[in-house]
Amino acid sequence: MIKLNYSNVTTQIIGDEGLDVEKSFLEYAPKIQEIITNLNMNKDKPGFWLQWMNLGYNEETVWYVKEFAAMVEGRFDNVLVLGIGGSALGAKALSEALLKPYWNLLDKEKRENLPRIFFVDNIDPDEINALLDVLDLKKTLVNVITKSGSTAETMSQFMIIQERLKNLLGDDYRKNIVATTDKQAGILRQLANEEGYKTFVVPDDVGGRFSVFSAVGLVPLALVGIDVDEIIRGIKIMDLTLKNTDITKNIAAQNALLHYLLDREKGKYISVMMPYSQRLKYVSDWYVQLWAESLGKEYDRNNNKINNGPTPIKALGATDQHSQIQLYNEGKNDKVITFIRVNEFDSELQIPNIFEYTGLNYLGGKSINRLINAEADATAVALCDYKRPNITITLPKINEYYLAQLFYMFEMQTAIIGELYNINAYNQPGVEQAKNYTYALMGRLGYEESKEELDMKLSRFSS
């Protein structure tokens, strides 16, 4: 199992800036027990948005995903994922972590005949045009993913690509499209029905940022040969562990409570996610969205205006030791840093013993593997010297099983801390607001009133 080490947030290590963890666990044990019990009790109830807790048990979807991947195997050189936010970040983070680094640059043989994978989760015309210049669309399977079926970024990308596919392939263009969307609602569902695309469903009551283990994440991952059965095994084992209502045995509850108390009692409202592994770089992007969209809320459940905001930040070890760590050590003491460490990398790289200089010969004969973890240790100790709370999550290896555990643990941690803050972690009114303004600005029917108001506000910027 993955491990959580929170000793560097304790008063024993960082004094008054830290927490009396044992006392806090004792004090909050009944509250945590109540939260976990309620989450499990409510997970099947419509409208609670807790269906993500059931995704490890959705055998039917897993079966259809694997069947589809097997059916199209060998037919495409590329998978192109169109989606944004929760519809892209999970699969992007997991594929980056689980595929061999530089996957898209490997030749077909080294990819074992599996396709390359590209994520377009932005609407930068230069980037999209450049990608379309290098991709052979005839040999590309396009997975368009949007729960609402109408997100402007995703649907505009899709409209551009669908037209090109049609021009290239005539009626056969449909074979290059797979749509993942709501089972009934939304324009993409309507379009898919009319045009006859292969489709997968974003289940009811699963929000975008909690959807990585639904078809949203599993389809693209399976298409590039990632072992979805191992992912499911990882979710299930973690789910089982996290059903334990005893905080001393539940790492998601522990990490949720520690972050909550560090924020509320010690003013550490910034959560820095810092994996010491290049392959885990996008795990931070996924975490940042999960934390920010779930926990940044104006009102609590009792309608009190609270402007809740534990702010997430992404960092990367060892790279950001040479940029952000100065701030984390000596700047405002308002952060809790989470390191993700990997015990055993897939490969080993020795540093040759080729220079006699005393400033270099200590490196020779050692491995880069040892260096990266020594740097993680050194950074953690330095933070403690400065009395900065930090937490380490350790993965035995980077593989499907452990990453599924990690992602599921973060989801549960977010759900639990959401309850501690007494907020709805599953809505995103702030995101919807900007989406609606975009619709209005682009002239979507029904948004005329917002358009007038917006034009007035925008004229203030330009004057």
Please give the residue ranges that form the binding site for ligand PA5 (CB under 6 A): 84-87, 146-148, 151, 154, 207-209, 293, 428, 431
Q: Residues near 326 by Cβ (< 8 Å), separated by ≥ 6?
A: none
Q: Are 183 and 62 in contact (CB under 8 A)?
A: no
Rounded-to-integer distance, Cα 21 and Cα 261, Å:
10
Nearest approach in angstroms of CB 157 to ligand PA5 is 11
Q: What is the CA radius of gyration of the chain?
A: 23
Q: Are 259 and 336 in contact (CB under 8 A)?
A: yes
Q: Which is nearer to ligand PA5, 87 or 321 (CB)?
A: 87
Active-site residue, selected from the candidate residues 17, 293, 400, 411: 293
- CA distances, 290 to each of 143, 168, 428 (Å): 22, 38, 11
Rounded-to-integer distance, Cα 90 and Cα 282, Å:
9
Active-site residue, selected from the candidate residues 112, 322, 356, 449: 322
Nearest approach in angstroms of CB 402 to ligand PA5 is 24
Q: Which is nearer to ligand PA5, 202 or 376 (CB)?
A: 202
Helix (H, G, I), strand (E, B) or coil at 66: helix
Question: Alpha-carbon torsion 149, 153, 156, 161, what sign?
Answer: negative
Residue, CB closest to ligand PA5? 208
Nearest residue to 345 via CA among 250, 291, 254, 278: 278
Q: Which is nearer to ligand PA5, 84 or 383 (CB)?
A: 84
Q: Which is nearer to ligand PA5, 123 or 431 (CB)?
A: 431
Residue 294, both tokens:
């779930």
Rounded-to-integer distance, Cα 111 and Cα 102, Å:
11
Category of 98 on φ-ψ map: left (φ > 0), alpha (ψ -120 to 50) or beta: alpha
Q: Which is nearer to ligand PA5, 345 or 437 (CB)?
A: 437
Q: Which is nearer to ligand PA5, 146 or 373 (CB)?
A: 146
Nearest residue to 170 via CA among 141, 138, 139: 138
Helix (H, G, I), strand (E, B) or coil at 82: strand
Please say if 322 is a catalytic residue. yes
- CA distances, 224 to each of 92, 128, 216 (Å): 12, 21, 14
Please say if 293 is a catalytic residue. yes
Q: Which is nearer to ligand PA5, 86 or 234 (CB)?
A: 86
Angle ∠(148,45,232) on CA atoms, nearest 5: 75
* DSSP line for 96-118: HHHSPTTGGGS-TTTTTTPPEEE
Residues tagged active-site: 293, 322, 435
